[in-house]
Structure 1
Amino acid sequence: MNKRNLIAAVNDSDYIERLAEYIRHSSFGENWQLTAFTNAAALRGFIRSGYAIDLLAAQPAMLGELGDLPEDLTTAAFVDYYGQSKYEKELLQFQPLPQLLQAITSLYAAEGNQLPKPALRGKGPVVVTVYSASGGTGKTTLALQLARHADIAGLRSFYLNLEQWNASLPLSSDGSAGGDDFSKLLYAIQSDSDQGVSAVLAYRKRYPAYSLDAFVPCNNPDERLALGTDQAKKLIAAIAAAGNYGLIVVDLDSRMDAMHAAVFEESDAILWLTTPDIASFRKNELAISFADRKFGPEFKAQKPKFRFVQVGGALNDRTLTDGKQARMDAVLPFVEEWAGGEYLSGTGAMVPQYRGAVDALLRRLGIL
């Protein structure tokens, strides 16, 4: 995979070292190569030598010393606050590095550029579904973290919540209305499947604080209950056909109906969550047995996609009622402060371990 060339120029060598160190050990570095300068003259010589530059971010004073720049060069000014410089595009220099890297990726994409996107089985974006028949396993936490982590790494992601009670995100990214957007979207898809892509583009919202795209949570739970198999498949297909995404993460609730089975069919991987306690595993076992009887060969054909993920505790393989071993493909640490619904915040001791486990899981799936 060819990396994009990020040029950063600030007069603080310690800042450059911290930025370079973070990129070196983060998934952002999979897509970007950093070249840094603390001297405007050296940067000017670099540019005039014709080296490849995909995005240039520099402090305003250093940009002013560079003179005329190529018209097709994406350039942004590092600032302390928006509106500080005369330049059209600005990046807050002093913000958490994950948010800074996301802002850089978003700025690059806004210029009509796209980072390489993975594909499984030769098709478009990867579709990963997160499911558990047991409540309280952290499905939504994992789904949001998967989409957020991949997006920050340069793989634009869409989070699709298909729970009946969707409380995963704020009403909208900017506090405005939009609770009926999902109903309008489903109507458009149902009435004319050719309108699916345009409807997705019209009703999707960007959630900058979460680093992902999504629909505003629906204010009518009946819409989810009425969502049929064909509609679910068309919805996922429309998001994929929008052409903007490398990853779609579907967050399902704990029931097991025909819509769930349809989503499984459209998925490349199904992350099936459980916890170490017997009750949680037993509920998931019952769900699998029910689906085997209810949906037959169609459901059984999806089983190679299952990736069992245990939340909390030590790795603990279990035996299903059919005698087959449920091999745990990954273990995620339990983050106590996220159990209350603060899915993406927190500075507790287990937060870095959880995010590291998410990164490892995305890599094992071949997404990053």
Structure 2
Amino acid sequence: MKRYQLAIVVKEKEYTRRIADYIRGNSFGERWQVSAFTHPNACKQFVKQGYAIDLIAAESDLLRELQPELSHIPSITLVARLGETDGEPELLQYQALPLLLQGITDQFEAMGHKPMRGFTPNSTSKGALVLSVHSASGGVGKTTLALHLAGAASARGLRMLYLNLERWNTSELWLQSGGDAAWDGEGLSELLYAIKSGSTSHAAWLAQHRKFHPQLKCDYLRGFRNQEDRATLLPADAAAMVESIAQSGHYNGVIVDMDDGLDELHYELLMRADRNLWVVSEERSALAKQSLMLQYGRQKFGEAFGRIAARSEVVYNGMNAELGNPMPAVEAALAPVALPLVREWRQGELHPVWSSSSYRAAADRLCAHLLGGSEEFRIHAVG
């Protein structure tokens, strides 16, 4: 893996010291060689002496002093508030270092530079692969599984984004700090508007507006600003949203958590998916609904739905190891991993998303199965 040269130019020595201390032993140091300067002339002299710089991250006034001599080098402005520059790449200077450093990498990739994660490009040239987490009925644990798969894949070194396309999106209860349901700021409504308007700068938008979950180690996007945007979401627009993320170059995987049921919107996303997980609970009614949905899909969509089914597996959720839970077969292939019954999650209280070691272990085994044993598998998920 090539290491790129990053120059950080800020006035505060303590700031550069904290960055240097953090990078030691961190995976960021495997991708970047970092040189820090507190004066622009020192950075200019560094270049004059023959040292290469691939990217400059600098405070706005210092960046102005670096130009025009170093204007040929890609740059990111470190700002106190986003929007200070006139559309130029920028990052908040004072934020958690993992977010800052990941933002630097993602901005660099958004500028058109080759991703530095060492994964084999998708042979189908579709960008990241698509996994659908889906079900015929609600309340079977799709969101819990989708979030855990994102966390499991992230723990394996894959760069993941969780995307919720449910009509009634409550994922912020787990994703936002303290379970705060306030969902302000730009999110899926703005991405949808950009797609409808024909904008092609989706990679830059993602780099600015995605959020990072510190426990799952994955990114996510805020939901629709209002219910009308989601209610009028067209199948083609939903597929375009997924495709824009898959093609952004930011991710090895994107997990989209979608409504239960089967209509044209579901069909469009399932057709785009490279792998699909259908989640069923131990309730017999959930199994019956899943079977009816599969029958309906074959009747309505014909041969095309057969191609979807061939890429799909059923995942049992809530298996009771004490009782064995014998369950009737569903008309689809079974995934080799069943998800355990977590009794403490059934107490009616909001549970931390990463709180069950047994469920995490099962999700990791399922993730390994989906990756096919390869750490170089690009996985994109829709659910």
TM tier, smaller? 0.5 to 0.7
Contact 1:179 1:218 in 2 (8 A): no
Contact 1:157 1:246 in 2 (8 A): yes
How far, CA to CA, are the matches of 1:230 and 1:238 in structure 2? 12
Number of the residue aligned with 2:124: 122
How far, CA to CA, are the matches of 1:154 and 1:299 in structure 2? 33
How far, CA to CA, are the matches of 1:295 and 1:114 in structure 2? 40
- Does residue 143 of structure 2 align to residue 135 of structure 1? no
How far, CA to CA, are the matches of 1:104 and 1:184 in structure 2? 23
Pairs within 5 Å for 1:282-301? 282-301=288-307
Cα separation, partners in 2 of 1:104 and 1:329, compared to 1, 3 Å: farther
Contact 1:274 1:281 in 2 (8 A): yes
Number of the residue aligned with 1:244: 250
Residue 264 of structure 1 and its aligned partner are, at CA, apart by: 0.6
Number of the residue aligned with 1:222: 228
Contact 2:275 2:312 in 1 (8 A): yes
Structure 2: runs of 5 or more not aligned: 4-24, 35-50, 55-92, 109-114, 379-383
Cα separation, partners in 2 of 1:305 and 1:187, compared to 1, 3 Å: same
Residue 282 of structure 1 and its aligned partner are, at CA, apart by: 0.5
Pairs within 5 Å for 1:139-158? 139-158=142-161
How far, CA to CA, are the matches of 1:295 and 1:117 in structure 2? 35
How far, CA to CA, are the matches of 1:232 and 1:127 in structure 2? 13
How far, CA to CA, are the matches of 1:205 and 1:325 in structure 2? 35
Contact 1:162 1:251 in 2 (8 A): yes
- Does residue 311 of structure 2 align to residue 309 of structure 1? no
Residue 287 of structure 1 and its aligned partner are, at CA, apart by: 1.3
How far, CA to CA, are the matches of 1:360 and 1:270 in structure 2? 15
Q: Structure 2 counterpart of 1:344, which letter?
A: V
Pairs within 5 Å for 1:18-167? 106=102, 109=105, 112=108, 114-123=116-125, 124-167=127-170
Residue among 257, 269, 281 paired with 1:275: 281
Number of the residue aligned with 1:344: 353
* TM-score computed with the length of structure 2 as normaliser: 0.61
**Larger RCO (CA within 8 A; separation ≥ 6):** 2
Residue 199 of structure 1 and its aligned partner are, at CA, apart by: 4.1
Q: Structure 2 counterpart of 1:114, which letter?
A: M
Q: Structure 1 counterpart of 2:351, which letter?
A: E
* TM-score computed with the length of structure 1 as normaliser: 0.64
Residue 359 of structure 1 and its aligned partner are, at CA, apart by: 4.1
How far, CA to CA, are the matches of 2:258 and 2:332 in structure 1? 24
- Does residue 176 of structure 2 align to residue 168 of structure 1? no
Matched-pair identity in %: 27
Contact 1:204 1:213 in 2 (8 A): yes
Greater mean alpha carbon deviation, residues 177-186 or residues 133-142: 177-186
Residue 198 of structure 1 and its aligned partner are, at CA, apart by: 4.4
Q: Structure 1 counterpart of 2:365, which letter?
A: A
* DSSP 3-state at the match of 1:312: strand
How far, CA to CA, are the matches of 1:72 and 1:149 in structure 2? 35
Cα separation, partners in 2 of 1:288 and 1:121, compared to 1, 3 Å: farther
Number of the residue aligned with 2:270: 264
Cα separation, partners in 2 of 1:354 and 1:200, compared to 1, 3 Å: same
* DSSP 3-state at the match of 2:337: strand
Give the number of aligned pairs.
Answer: 285
Structure 1: runs of 5 or more not aligned: 5-33, 36-51, 58-69, 74-87, 93-101
Alignment RMSD, CA only? 4.0
Number of the residue aligned with 1:187: 193
* DSSP 3-state at the match of 1:361: helix
Question: Could you list the per-position Cα deviations for residues 202-222 of structure 1 after superposition, in whole angstroms to 9, with x for gaps in the alignment?
Answer: 432233343222211224223
Residue 283 of structure 1 and its aligned partner are, at CA, apart by: 0.9
Residue 344 of structure 1 and its aligned partner are, at CA, apart by: 2.2
Q: Structure 1 counterpart of 2:362, which letter?
A: Y
Q: Structure 2 counterpart of 1:192, which letter?
A: G
Cα separation, partners in 2 of 1:359 and 1:220, compared to 1, 3 Å: same
* DSSP 3-state at the match of 2:146: helix
Residue 130 of structure 1 and its aligned partner are, at CA, apart by: 0.4
How far, CA to CA, are the matches of 1:364 and 1:166 in structure 2? 31
Number of the residue aligned with 2:372: 364
Contact 1:274 1:308 in 2 (8 A): yes
Q: Structure 2 counterpart of 1:115, which letter?
A: R
Residue among 359, 362, 369 paired with 1:354: 362
Contact 1:188 1:199 in 2 (8 A): no
Contact 1:193 1:234 in 2 (8 A): no
Residue 247 of structure 1 and its aligned partner are, at CA, apart by: 0.4
Number of the residue aligned with 2:217: 211
Q: Structure 1 counterpart of 2:353, which letter?
A: L
Residue 200 of structure 1 and its aligned partner are, at CA, apart by: 3.6
